Structure 1
Amino acid sequence: MRRVMASKLISIVTPCYNEEENVRELVARIREVFAQLPNYDYEHILIDNASTDGTANVLRQLAGEDSRTKVILNTRNFGHIRSPYHAILQARGDAVIHLVADLQDPPEMIPDFLAKWSEGFKVVLGVKTQSQESPAMYAIRKLYYDLSGRLSEVRLIKNYTGFGLYDHVVVEQLRQIDDPYPYFRGLIADLGYEAALIPFNQPVRKRGITSNNFYKLYDIAMLGITNHSKIPLRMATMAGFFLSAASLFIALGYLIAKLLFWSQFALGTAPILIGFFFFMSVQLFFIGIIGEYVGAIHTQVQKRPHVIEKERLNF
């Protein structure tokens, strides 16, 4: 009877990894939010990426307490890109809301998202205007958003981490794209739907330790650049042209100086060594850039599934 009376079904999607201290509070807060929204029903999909703590057991308990809590347990850790995306594609709601398990995406913003969605927006995004994380990390993230925005061929949204609402039409577009290693934020921008932006102050993580280490942040950064920009490749071509031209002019300058001041002018080994290491470092840098693009192509052609599920509950 509850489902018949509810006009809209909202799918909440939450990726989890070692979040046993947070998931129970998150589920309770979402339940409280929807208790104040009688015109909406919801399902809460939590996907666990092979946590090494007791997260899976907590999720099983939560699924047993409420049939609206749906759980996917992966066979192994499939990474921070593939697992959340897989969960979004499993949602069957009229709209999907993605929020993380560490309580840094406030569930209390869900009514704001639904209000904008009811106005006709297919995409409603939470954008960080302030963050209670360390100033150094916030500055690094801001620098990345500025850099990726300048390099990208589509307009990326600054300080947007994936927290937001996506209409079922948007999710269906993502299903048709069938990207094995998607840059979710870039895909949302690439689809081109007009987005309503809702600013919020990101709270500090309450409990536990974040799994977003330097490697994961670097992976996201390079994924965003390689998937949505060819500028680094063209920079390599232009840099090669200008450096070769500069080398020619420098060589001519040394030749003229040697001819004019044959006895006094000595080339020495320092300029040779400095020039050698400089050009080698430039080559290695751009070889690395090309390698990132080759790696992205390699990932695409493998066409592996996003995850392999070990267990499903309440589906």
Structure 2
Amino acid sequence: MKKISILVPTYNEKENVEAMAERLTDILQTALNRYDYEILFIDNCSTDGTRDIIEKLCAKNKKIKAIFNVTNFGQFNSPFYGMCQTTGDCTVSICCDFQDPPELIPSFVEAWEQGYKIVSGIKTSSKERGFIYFLRTCYYKMIKNMSSVRMIEHFTGFGLYDKTFIALLRELHDPIPFLRGIVAEYCSGFNMLEVEYEQPKRRAGKTHNNFYTLYDAMMLSFTSYTKIGLRIATLLGFIIGSLSFLVALVFFVLKLIRWNSFSAGYVPIIIMICLLGSIQLFFIGFLGEYVLNINTRIINRPVVVEERRINF
């Protein structure tokens, strides 16, 4: 009997975690009852009572497992690590807030049985705020055009992964794994199918995404899968340097011919200094993001440190 693993990352999801467990169990025991299963919750150090609910779920059903992290390891590390701890013939990663529809899981499994090793859920529309969805669309198109890897638009990690792909994840040893980029990088060798869906609203609770988390995701994708920032900095520096040389040459020539009627004043000089200074600060900060990425990889801390496990 084949085994299906369901991975559910959690962080302060006390209003959703029990309902998600019930929904997944119902789907697995009805539509997918010919398979064995496990449901793995990996909790990123919740502080709202989520862990207490998970412990009760594990006590009622031994096929529900849990990993509790010692601290919050971020939105990328925890799900990646959890996927690497699953034991099924395939693993489905799904968010706990119901914005990833559990009803798609049977369709994912059917496609997997047809030979697809990766089945990715792709958002075609969303019931979240339109402006936020628009910003996400702009981000995906920008990173797709800048990256040397064919990035997948509106893919958040929701999908099914064959055990052969999970084995690849275990071999990467990446201290800051970016699953969306990893899937995009290796999907051509794993026969991937994209399944479109409309993203529903969050069932309950507040989203944990904010400016910092979105910025963190954007910079991780930029510094891991693009060179465009550094190339733009180099090219822009060359262009501005050339223009500055030409301006200096013009002023030098005018000084030699004693063109007393020529007077540029100090305003253009101040504007140029401010402009150049802001450009330099921007690209120094951008270069710092690359250095931070390199530094994190060199330190090579564990992806996640566990506090304890249940039902393993």
TM-score over 0.5 for the pair: yes
Quote the sequence identity (%).
43
Partner residue, 2:309: 312
Partner residue, 2:270: 273
Q: SS of 2:156's equivalent?
A: strand
- Match among 200, 205, 211 for residue 203 of structure 1: 200
| TM-score where L is the length of structure 1 | 0.95
Q: Verify the 8 A CA contact 2:78 2:304 in the aligned structure 1.
A: yes
Q: Which runs of 5+ in 2 are unaligned?
A: none
Matching of residue 32 in structure 1 with residue 22 in structure 2: no
Relative to structure 2, which stretch is displaced further, 141-150 or 230-239? 230-239
AA partner of residue 222 (structure 1): M
- Match among 230, 244, 247 for residue 244 of structure 2: 247
* Separation of aligned partners in 1, 2:192 and 2:128: 26
- Match among 173, 177, 185 for residue 172 of structure 2: 177
Q: SS of 1:162's equivalent?
A: coil
* Separation of aligned partners in 2, 1:300 and 1:29: 38
- Match among 268, 286, 294 for residue 289 of structure 1: 286
| TM-score where L is the length of structure 2 | 0.96
Q: SS of 1:52's equivalent?
A: coil
Deviation string 1:109-155 (CA, Å, 9 cap, x unpaired) is 00110111111111100000010010111111111101110111100
Partner residue, 2:137: 142
- Match among 88, 94, 103 for residue 99 of structure 1: 94
Post-superposition shift, 1:15?
0.6
- Match among 137, 160, 175 for residue 165 of structure 1: 160
Post-superposition shift, 1:258?
5.3
Post-superposition shift, 1:253?
3.5
Q: SS of 1:50's equivalent?
A: coil
* Separation of aligned partners in 2, 1:258 and 1:143: 49
Partner residue, 2:218: 221
Partner residue, 1:86: 81
AA partner of residue 155 (structure 1): R
Deviation string 1:189-215 (CA, Å, 9 cap, x unpaired) is 111333200000000012101111110
Q: Verify the 8 A CA contact 1:73 1:311 in the aligned structure 2.
A: yes
* Separation of aligned partners in 2, 1:55 and 1:125: 28
Deviation string 1:157-200 (CA, Å, 9 cap, x unpaired) is 00001000111100111111110111110011111333200000
AA partner of residue 304 (structure 2): V
Q: Verify the 8 A CA contact 1:258 1:265 in the aligned structure 2.
A: no
Matching of residue 23 in structure 1 with residue 17 in structure 2: yes
Relative to structure 2, which stretch is displaced further, 145-154 or 229-238? 229-238
Matching of residue 237 in structure 1 with residue 231 in structure 2: no
Post-superposition shift, 1:251?
2.5
Q: Verify the 8 A CA contact 2:31 2:106 in the aligned structure 1.
A: no
Relative to structure 2, which stretch is displaced further, 251-260 or 180-189? 251-260
AA partner of residue 111 (structure 1): P
Partner residue, 2:3: 9
AA partner of residue 87 (structure 1): G
Give the aligned length.
309
* Separation of aligned partners in 1, 2:117 and 2:110: 12
Post-superposition shift, 1:247?
1.3
Q: Verify the 8 A CA contact 2:3 2:88 in the aligned structure 1.
A: yes
Q: Verify the 8 A CA contact 1:81 1:181 in the aligned structure 2.
A: yes
User: Are the structure 2 counterparts of residues 281 and 115 from structure 1 closer, same or farther at C-alpha, using a change threshold of 3 Å?
Assistant: same
